[in-house]
Chain A
Amino acid sequence: MSAYAATDDHDHNYINWEKGFWSWWMSIDHKRIGLMYLGTMLMFFAIGGFFALLVRIELFTPGETIMGAADYNTAFTLHGVVMIFLFIVPGIPATLGNFLLPLMIGAKDVAFPRLNRLSYWLYVLSGGVAVLAIVFRLDTGWTFYAPYSVQNSTAVVAATTAAFLGGFASILTGVNFLVTIHNMRAPGMHWGRLPLFVWTLYATAILQVVATPVIGITLLLLILENVFGLGVFDPDLGGDPVLFEHMFWFYSHPVVYIMILPAMGIVSEIIPVFSRKPIFGYRAIVYASVGIAAISFLVWGHHMFVAGMANLTRYIFSFLTFFVAVPTAVKVFNWISTLYKGSVTWDSPMLYALSFVFLFLIAGCTGIHLATLSTDAHYHDTYFVVAHFHYTIQGGAVIGLLGGLHFWFSKMFGRMYNEKLAKVGWLFLFIGFNGAFLPMFILGMEGMPRRYFDYPVEFTTLHQMATIGAFVNGLGYLFVFGNLGYAVFRGKKAGTNPYESLSLEWQTPSPPAHDNWETIPIVTDWTYGYGKPEDDESHAGH
């Protein structure tokens, strides 16, 4: 990388550029919008986590522990709705993606900065409407299956309106990122040199743009069904509840990849930096990312293996589902191979990246149990699915997000967190997470159905283990965010590029200036040229 010029004036950065609430709220700076997204999202993460702990306390003993069935149903529903629609769907793209994408490709901002702000506002509005769902005690589960969701009208209309608005925000982010990646790359930043995090954001944006409108229309129909008695999903009115499931999962399966793909991108950024090696098989990871995005549209039926579909349909969906495993496995092999003959440091971002690989292996392997038709007949809608899903989303997407937050923390704030405490926090998280969810695989094997307020006594021990694990997990989060939160204001000043990354975003001051670059950076090599011999011409030129 050469011939870029950055502002060396450390006194003026995007944080102190203008002061006061309105300067943030009205800001169209992608870095500020990313931070605001992060703050709001973490607030909802805390709320969702609170509901999760309520659920776990209630399940500590069979029968009533601290609340009745109605409260329990509301608690697990709100845990799902808040975590999915307000935390992990905007997730990494809206936070780290917003902050880093223009910096990584050498742009001054995203293609449509005001649209970006509108997207954030819609997200906040969606959060506000979602509070109504809490007030009116939504109890349908986050999947809103009809006809049950046609009975609790007020709360369902509130929650689906919130999800609809969030979907709108998601579409706008997707459009924005696609155009940004197509049109805003700095000279020399051609497709073969794009950082892998940008590639995964690209694949994610395609999913957001293609899948989200379908959930939009599905939720709109559900709202109209509740308000006007449309009769599309309720069998009492001549509708078909299975149609709702098809339309819902056509979005909600790809959305899992909206959550996980950017986390894979983050891991692909962290591992080379902390191994001082180029990422192994760059092209394979790019193809795998786009491949996963493409296959994800063809496998929604595996959520409906026991939903009365024809046999042939089940076979086809099972067959396609297995092929999600291949690109995923390829990525895991690539990450591990990157370590070979490197110079590895085990700093906290690397701990998160490597534990991501471990947890995602478990998530992927248990996905095979669920893709296989005869074992899925047993596992469907049991705690096995709960555990598999949380290994994917908490063990994958959230661990990836935390890895990214630690890695780019000094980029965002110009300060450094306490590394020792960060490692302790990671340890709590890792132990607590596995303690909470490993027992759930066994519960699922033994036949414990999910969304149960009460359960037969033989499941008690495993439930108690899971509850204890969940609390250690929660403690880990308090630790981690306490450490990071303290460092935002009081952390040691960090250098511009503490990890000596070669990626473009680290070539600006930390925190970056308000408008990122004074002159256009010109890119002459790919992002992963660690240890590149002087005479090696690959990836340069073209």
Chain B
Amino acid sequence: MFDLFTSMPEQAATWSADVDWLNDLITNLSVFFTVTLTGAMIYLGVKYRKKSEDQEVAYITHNAMLETVWTVVPTIICAVMFVYGIISYKEMRTPPSSAIEINVDAYSWRWDFTYPGGKKSTNTLVVPLGQPIRLIMTSHDVIHSFFIPAMRVKEDVYQGNYSYLWFEPIKLGEFHIFCAEYCGLQHSAMIGKVKVVTQEEYEDYLVDRKAGDAPQLSPAEAGKVLYTEKTCNTCHSLDGSQTLGPSFKGLFASKERKLADGTVVPIDENYIRESILQPQAKMVEGFSPIMPAFEGQLSEEDIANLIAYLKTL
């Protein structure tokens, strides 16, 4: 669309062009209305400027027809904009299940990334071209906000739960990552970059390790160790048999779960996290509240690893 009035960054994600189209539409309408109305105001002000002391003025107090029109028209325009906004936003909030999941850990003032294979990086997020990427983000201190202008995505990151983002890069190259929520002294230095590379380069990157490094466990493998180490196995089976606690078999595949109070909750990272730390908060229908709370006994990394393992079952 006509984009003389806008200046958006590179379009590096699938939806960047859609967002920009809507942005251009709103901006063009804004410019049109601002110019027309200001023009009308100046025109009327000059045309009816005071020319003589006894200038005739019209005693007009209102006009029901006119006022109805200019109430209804903006209402319709707003409703249309709202719907457009929702349509393009819905996609941004619905990650495909095939997405590559990368954990993001925010600290004052750096971003740590953990890839599916266990590879870690700081401030540089390497992702393959044309693959949906889902970020599972948590903060270790104050609030941060993960922002990639080129991908048109942003989401705040909190301590104590996960927030999510997803995008699919369509352009090779390097793009800014900014922290968009003020987080103290070095807030403006909490800058990283997304490096979009080809699939081969990405795979090379994941296995690239300095010689002599200990063989690395992937998050899922580390989670499997924790599963027995923390004695989850005594109550939660892997084969679907229901013992003292619900079985872990097909946990994430089942998508949602019925609770004892009749409500249904979606099974996502935040639900699992809460059920580990505060098992009594959401009781599964048909089970007793006997699991001890693991609050303070697991590190953030342990929790992320356990979740990665549960996803493989």
Give 14 new A-B contacts, CB below 8 A, not counting A280-B61, A344-B50. A73-B185, A241-B159, A306-B154, A326-B78, A329-B74, A343-B48, A344-B48, A345-B49, A354-B45, A365-B31, A369-B27, A371-B81, A372-B81, A455-B188
B61 with A282: CB separation less than 8 A:
yes
Give every chain A residue within 8 A of B210 (Cβ-Cβ): none
Interface size class of B (residues with CB under 8 A): 35 or more
Q: Are B89 and A374 in contact (CB under 8 A)?
A: yes
Within 32-69 of A, Cβ neighbours of B (below 8 Å) are at 69
Q: A282-B62, A373-B89, A382-B180 are in contact. Are A326 and B74 (CB under 8 A)?
A: yes
Q: Does B48 contact A340, Cβ atoms closer than 8 Å?
A: yes
Q: How far is the CA of A346 from the CA of B48 in the complex (A)?
A: 11
Indicate whether A454 reaches chain B with its CB closer than 8 angstroms.
yes
Given contacts A375-B23, A446-B7, contact A532 B59 (CB under 8 A): yes
Q: Do A235 and B154 touch across chains, with their CB atoms under 8 A apart?
A: no
Partner of A344 from the list B7, B45, B70, B176 (CB cut-off 8 Å) is B45
B55 within 8 A of A: yes
B189 within 8 A of A: yes
Q: In this assembly, does A341 line the interface, its C-beta being within 8 Å of a C-beta of chain B?
A: yes
- Cα A151 to Cα B88 in complex, Å, equals 39
* Contact of A179 with B by CB under 8 A: no
Q: Which residue of B lies closest to A143 (CB)?
A: B182
In whole Å, how far is A62's beta carbon from the nearest beta carbon of chain B? 10
The answer to whether B159 touches A235 (Cβ under 8 A) is yes
Q: Does B289 belong to the interface (CB within 8 Å)?
A: no
Residue of B27, B49, B156, B178 most packed against chain A (CB within 10 A): B156
C-alpha gap A538/B59 in the complex (Å): 11
Within 8 Å of chain B (Cβ to Cβ): is A145? yes
Q: What chain A residues lie within 8 Å of B58 (beta carbons)?
A: 277, 340-342, 531
In the bound complex, how far is the Cα of B187 from the Cα of A140, in angstroms?
11
Is residue B246 contacting chain A, with contact meaning CB distance below 8 A? no
Assess the B74–A452 pair: CB atoms within 8 A.
Answer: no
- B60 within 8 Å of A (CB atoms): yes
A456-B176 contact given A69-B185, A445-B8, CB 8 Å threshold: yes
Residues of A within 8 A of B100 (CB): none
* Contact between A447 and B26, CB atoms less than 8 A apart: no
Whether the Cβ atoms of A73 and B163 lie closer than 8 Å is no
Pick from A1-9, A221-229, A311-319, A401-409 the stretch touching chain B: A311-319
A336 to B39, CA, bound (A): 10
Measured between alpha carbons, how far is A442 from B9 in the docked complex, in Å?
11
A284-B67, A322-B81, A377-B153 are contacts. A278–B22 as well, Cβ < 8 Å?
no
Determine if B179 is an interface residue (Cβ-Cβ < 8 Å): yes
Please, how many angstroms separate the alpha-carbon atoms of A449 and B149 in the complex?
10
Check if A147 is an interface residue, CB within 8 A of chain B: yes
Is residue A515 contacting chain B, with contact meaning CB distance below 8 A?
A: no
Contact between B48 and A308, CB atoms less than 8 A apart: no
A457 at the interface (CB under 8 A from B): no
Q: Which of A17-25, A110-118, A355-363, A467-475 contacts B (4 or more CB under 8 A)?
A: A355-363
List residues of chain A with CB within 8 A of the CB of B92: 374, 377
Bound complex: CA A531 to CA B8 (Å): 51
Q: Which residues does chain A contribute within 8 Å of B113, judged by CB atoms?
A: none
A11 is an interface residue with CB less than 8 A from chain B: no
Interface residue? A333 (CB, 8 A): yes
For chain B residues 55-69, which have a beta carbon within 8 Å of chain A? 55, 57-63, 66-67
B84 at the interface (CB under 8 A from A): yes
Q: Report the nearest B residue to A362, measured CB to CB.
A: B34
- A70 on interface, CB distance cutoff 8 Å: yes
Q: In chain B, what residue has the closest Cβ to A455? A: B188
A103 to B37, CA, bound (A): 34
Q: How many residues of A contact B (CB 8 A)?
A: 91
- B78's partner among A139, A235, A325, A336 (CB-CB below 8 A) is A325
Chain A proximity of B299: nearest CB distance (Å): 15
Is A307 a contact partner of B156 (Cβ separation < 8 A)?
yes
Question: B160 to A235, Cβ gap below 8 A?
Answer: yes
Decide: B41 and A339 in contact? CB cutoff 8 A: yes
Closest residue of chain B to A452 (Cβ to Cβ) is B188
Mask: chain B, 171-194; 1 = CB below 8 Å from A; 0 = not: 000001011111111111101000
Known pairs A284-B62, A372-B22; A306 contacts B33 (CB<8 A): no
Known contacts A284-B62, A336-B40, A340-B44; is-contact A377 B154 (Cβ 8 Å): yes
The CA of A531 and the CA of B6, in the complex, are separated in Å by 45
Residues of B within 8 A of A (CB): 6-9, 15, 18-19, 22-23, 26-27, 29-31, 33-34, 37-38, 40-42, 44-46, 48-51, 55, 57-63, 66-67, 70-71, 74-75, 78-79, 81-82, 84-86, 88-90, 92-93, 141-143, 145, 147, 149-150, 152-156, 158-161, 163, 176, 178-189, 191
- Are the CB atoms of A281 and B62 closer together than 8 Å? yes
Give the Cβ gap from A540 to chain B, nearest Cβ, in Å: 12
**CB-based nearest A residue for B23:** A375
Question: Bound state CA distance, A346 and B50, in angstroms?
Answer: 9
In the complex the two chains form, is B57's CB within 8 Å of A374's CB?
no
Tell me if B26 and A368 are in contact (CB < 8 A). Answer: yes
Contacts of B142 in A (CB 8 A): 145, 147-148, 151
Which one, B41, B154, B184, contacts A354 given CB within 8 A?
A: B41
Closest to B55 in A: A343
| A343–B85 touching, CB < 8 Å | no
Bound together, the chains give a CA A537 to CA B163 distance in angstroms of: 63
Shortest CB–CB separation between residue A345 and chain B, in angstroms?
Answer: 5
A280: B residues at CB distance < 8 A: 60-63
Shortest distance between the CB of A386 and any CB in chain B (Å):
12
Q: Check if A447 sits within 8 Å of B48, measured CB to CB.
A: no
* Chain A proximity of B181: nearest CB distance (Å): 6
Docked complex: A142-168 residues within 8 A CB-CB of B: 145, 147-148, 151
B contact residues around A147 at 8 Å (CB):
141-143, 159
B86 touches A318 (CB 8 A): yes
The answer to whether A374 and B85 touch across the interface, beta carbons within 8 angstroms, is yes
Q: Which of A151, A241, A456 has the most CB of B within 10 A?
A: A241
- Report chain B residues within 8 Å CB of A538: 61
Partner of B188 from A365, A447, A453 at Cβ < 8 Å: A453
Q: Which residues of A from 432 to 487 have beta carbons under 8 Å from B? A: 442, 445-447, 449-456
Assembled-state Cα–Cα distance A332/B147 (Å): 35
How far is the CB of B289 from the nearest CB of chain A, in Å? 19
- A241–B139 alpha-carbon span in the complex (Å): 12
Partner of A375, one of B19, B90, B180: B19
User: Are A357's CB and B41's CB within 8 A?
Assistant: yes
- Which residues does chain B contribute within 8 Å of A450, judged by CB atoms? 180, 182
The reply to whether A449 and B6 contact each other, CB–CB distance below 8 Å, is no
| Interface flags, A499-541, vs B, CB<8A=1, else 0 | 0000000000000000000000000000010111100101100
User: Does A490 have its Cβ within 8 Å of any Cβ on chain B?
Assistant: no
Q: Does A283 contact B (CB under 8 A)?
A: yes
Determine which of B22, B49, B66, B141 lies in contact with A346 in the assembled complex, contact meaning CB atoms within 8 Å: B49
- What are 12 of the A-B contact pairs (CB < 8 Å)? A275-B48, A306-B154, A308-B158, A318-B82, A326-B74, A342-B44, A344-B49, A345-B50, A357-B38, A366-B30, A378-B152, A452-B188
